[in-house]
Amino acid sequence: MQNNTEQQAEVKGMEVLDHVPDGWKVIPGATAHPPGYRWINNNKSLFGGEYKQALVPEDIACEWWRNNT
């Protein structure tokens, strides 16, 4: 496991949340994420101007999958 300083450097400039907000989802099949994290988005159209994405720790993403699929 990497130390916290290394993890922060990997996600610098990206929003990191400690939960998956209501209405958001873990992006299935996304592979370009830092180790230990998963991409989530707000389930809006990429082309509508309202699309947002963030990272969550992998354990939180796995818990969301268990509870929502």
Q: pLDDT by residue (tens digit) across 45-69?
A: 999 999 999 999 999 999 999 999 8
Q: What percent of the chain has pLDDT over 90?
A: 68
Q: State the total domains in the chain.
A: 1
3-state helix, strand, coil in the chain (%, to 5): 25, 20, 55
Kindly state the average pLDDT of the residues 8-31: 85
Higher pLDDT, 63 or 10: 63
Range of the domain at 51: 4-68
pLDDT above 60: residue 6:
no
Kindly state the average pLDDT of the residues 24-45: 93
Higher pLDDT, 36 or 12: 36
